[in-house]
Structure 1
Amino acid sequence: MAHAHTQTLTEEQTRLPARVASLAPGIIFGGLVLILAALGWAFATEDGLVHFQYAYLTGFMAWLMVALGSLIFLCLQHVFRAGWSVGMRRIPEMIVSNFWPWIIVAFMPIFIPICMGDTTVYKWLDPAMVNPTSPLFDQILANKSGYLNKGFFIGRLVAYFGIWTLMARFFVKNSVAQDADGDPARTRRMEMRAAPLIMVFALSLTFAGFDLLMSLDPHWFSTIWGVYLFAGCMISSVSSMILLLMFIQNFGGMKHIGPEQYSDLGKLLFAFVFFWGYIAFSQYMLIWYANIPEETTFFHFRQAGEWANFSLLLLFGHLLLPFPGLLSRHIKRGRKTLAFWAIWMLVFHFVDFYWMVMPYLAKKLGHGMEVVFHPMDVLIWLGLGLGLFGLTLSRAKRQSMVPLRDPRLPESLAFENYY
């Protein structure tokens, strides 16, 4: 429930502050330096390039979820005809505008080795594993070869990124164009298409999760995997929106966004922290109860040795601590407290993806149940994150930071929670 009060926008509030715009190139450059430093470290370390590939996949997927979460956030706001979020909608729009070309460019260190048939990360790309005459022959993989084969895999990856890019372009193009022509039909068009696009998004996210993450162990499967990734999408994207908004406001921009909008973003963050816990428990409980060998291998490895402690770290850091931490209304309305939990959740979002991917590296390098942490893991994650944030700010300076002629903007500016 909400009631209204009157607010008007100044020119300063509708533009990205010049100081923020001037910082964007430096942020991007800093991110690139961190990634190059990690690459240099990889060349200087035994098995460093193998580690780099797994670490890059971890970092890339963590930040890809931010962009995908922003994309589904836009879809949901249009489907529900939400008014409260219109004043800050340019933040997720600018995040998703990076799909072409920069997110696709960032995907190339993963995509190019796949096209070359490199088996470092995706071992099932080795043709010998489906050749009955080979000593590496794998019957389970041979049964799945109609889906898990190089050509079809590449085709699916192109389709996923093509779908996401076109979806992002549709929403951003219509929203920005409405600033110029004020045509309310653009709002109706986005509302009408958002619902079917949610279904397209759900399928693409689910199968991309199967392909890029689940197929790291081609024997393992989980039917709830796509929903688990969706929860991570929303947590990471809402956290990123909160931090980007606060960063811009620290330099004098977007002052029309206040405790009311932050409160609702905090509610979303809290809701999806709980939802993530519910899905994570459901996935674990169903696999434990069924006790099918092809399913239990995933958790069996992560419950042994050092990975058992890492799993507990994920449980406490991603659910048991932030759940009570975000309960209070005052925490969700306070800038410092909400910023703390947004940063916290982004860090543990990375921990979640580290927990998904890096045990396979430990197996590959023969480290058994050891956690194979290396500083390059964090450098890559930070570098890609700085790149995404810097590119978002760079794009934001090209147009108004507020959808000035959206018919629901007055509702957004007048929004105030009762509770």
Structure 2
Amino acid sequence: MTIREQYVIPKKYNMLSMVLMAIGLLSIIILFITHGSKSGAENEVVRARFWAALLQNSVYFLLVTNAAMFFICATTLMWGGWQVSFRRVTEAISACVPVIGIITFVILMAIVFGGDHVIYHWTDAEHVQHDPILLGKSGFLNKTFFTVWTLITLIGWSWLGYKIRSMSRAIDDTKLTVEEGRKYMWDNTVWSGVYVVLFGLTVMSCTPWFWLMSIDAHWYSTMYSWYTFASTFVAGIALITLFVVFLKNNNYLELTNREHLHSLGIMLFAFSIFWTYLWFDQFMLIWYANIPEETIYFKSRLQGPYRGIFFLMLIINFLAPILLLMTRSAKRNYGTMTMLCVLILFGHWLDFFQMVMPGPLTDPNTKLTHVPFMLADFGIALGFVGLIMFVTVRSLAKWPLIAKNNPFLKESIIHHT
């Protein structure tokens, strides 16, 4: 069997990614003209609509692409070799993190240090002095801490991701001896452990508190970061699966077969249930306690204008995966897996939409919120999809598609479920 080691970017694919990025850029420009450029204190909520759309999309797609490196490191720590045959796909997706990270950092800094305080109320120093709750959190929730932690997060993700990708590619032209193979796996295990620790301190802990939960700074949930992780990790697996299927349909990844697709399907199934478990636990505990400062978060989402989106994303993110992936044959079907992965990515994008939008779009006088016309949000999302497509395939094209000297490649070739 002849193995195609080098990926060649199709012209149509290149054009599609460019078109999607153009749609995203055009959507940002239009939304800025209609909302972001409005001046005056009376238009704060209007301007917040623009920044909330950028915040939601940038953070969502950053966390989804970053989940690819967590996937690599978690399986490395478990010494699981089944994913090695398509490891370069996962590495290529993780290469998007520095690019989207820069975009996200610019957006976050513009929101934090801008003149408006509708998205992050805690950035208004005068308001904080008259708000006992925000004043009590000010030692943690302040501009300096936010900026420093955001820099540590983004630089840490980017550098460690680069380090782990470089180690993988360094052995492409070197056949390892037994001792060299052991050292390689040990080094990979150590660096993967470092990354997982950072991931635990950021994605599973403080970072979602800063970037997302502080939008509703009076409200808090101890399960919020785990909930955010589950949402973006299952979406990250869906993204990996889409690229694997795409490459298989274009006659690449000859060593990857339906056994690997089945294992990815199992992970989609399992983590969709895990996300639902966290969703239910967070909601149930708040509902059962019935404490006003906690239930306010679900007021607009469960009984207000976001009720439809709230239950729609539950149907997409729980019922669809559990029903469609119940059978063995469904996990091995390219068409079913492609459709479901697109649905999951969209469903968790909706989840982030209802996590971000109600707070900034609440009128400070009437305390009422609304669901905005979502066409521009879809356009911005398509722009990020085009950017991920663009960066991922360029990373794929630079290096061999098969990590042929990885000590666990044989285990991956003979993988079965």
TM-score w.r.t. structure 2 length?
A: 0.91
Instruction: Map residues 8-87 of structure 1 onto 2, 5 A cutoff.
Output: 10-12=2-4, 14-16=5-7, 18-20=8-10, 22-23=11-12, 25-46=14-35, 49-87=47-85
- 63-72 or 279-288, which moves further after superposition? 63-72
Output the CA distance in 1 between the equivalents of 2:276 and 2:88.
Answer: 29
List per-residue Cα deviations over 1:189-216 (Å, max 9, x = no partner).
Answer: 1113323432321111121100000000
Helix, strand or coil: the match of 1:180? Answer: coil
Instruction: Map residues 161-172 of structure 1 onto 2, 5 A cutoff.
Output: 161-172=154-165
1:393 and 1:367, CA in 2 relative to 1: closer, same or farther beyond 3 A? farther
- 30-39 or 350-359, which moves further after superposition? 30-39
8 A contact 2:268–2:321 mirrored in 1 = no
Instruction: Map residues 10-409 of structure 1 onto 2, 5 A cutoff.
Output: 10-12=2-4, 14-16=5-7, 18-20=8-10, 22-23=11-12, 25-46=14-35, 49-116=47-114, 118-131=116-129, 137-181=130-174, 182=176, 183-184=180-181, 185-205=183-203, 206-364=205-363, 368-409=368-409
State the Cα distance separating 1:52 from its structure 2 match.
2.1
State the Cα distance separating 1:49 from its structure 2 match.
4.4
State the Cα distance separating 1:58 from its structure 2 match.
1.2
State the Cα distance separating 1:401 from its structure 2 match.
1.2
8 A contact 2:363–2:369 mirrored in 1 = no
Output the CA distance in 2 between the equivalents of 1:24 and 1:163.
Answer: 31
Output the CA distance in 2 between the equivalents of 1:154 and 1:24.
Answer: 37
May I ask how many residue pairs the two structures share in their alignment? 401
8 A contact 2:32–2:50 mirrored in 1 = no
1:202 and 1:50, CA in 2 relative to 1: closer, same or farther beyond 3 A? same
State the Cα distance separating 1:369 from its structure 2 match.
4.4
RMSD: 2.0
1:118 and 1:152, CA in 2 relative to 1: closer, same or farther beyond 3 A? farther
1:288 and 1:253, CA in 2 relative to 1: closer, same or farther beyond 3 A? same
Percent identity between the aligned chains?
Answer: 28
TM-score w.r.t. structure 1 length?
A: 0.90
Aligned to 2:43: none
Task: Name stretches of at least 5 consecutive residues in structure 1 with no aligned partner.
Answer: 1-7, 132-136
State the Cα distance separating 1:101 from its structure 2 match.
4.0
8 A contact 1:65–1:232 mirrored in 2 = no
Output the CA distance in 2 between the equivalents of 1:316 and 1:280.
Answer: 12
Report the AA paired with residue 82 of structure 2. W
Report the AA paired with residue 36 of structure 1. L
Output the CA distance in 1 between the equivalents of 2:78 and 2:312.
Answer: 36
8 A contact 1:304–1:369 mirrored in 2 = no
1:322 and 1:101, CA in 2 relative to 1: closer, same or farther beyond 3 A? closer
List per-residue Cα deviations over 1:65-113 (Å, max 9, x = no partner).
Answer: 2122112101111011111110011111111122234532354233333
Report the AA paired with residue 409 of structure 1. L
8 A contact 2:92–2:395 mirrored in 1 = yes
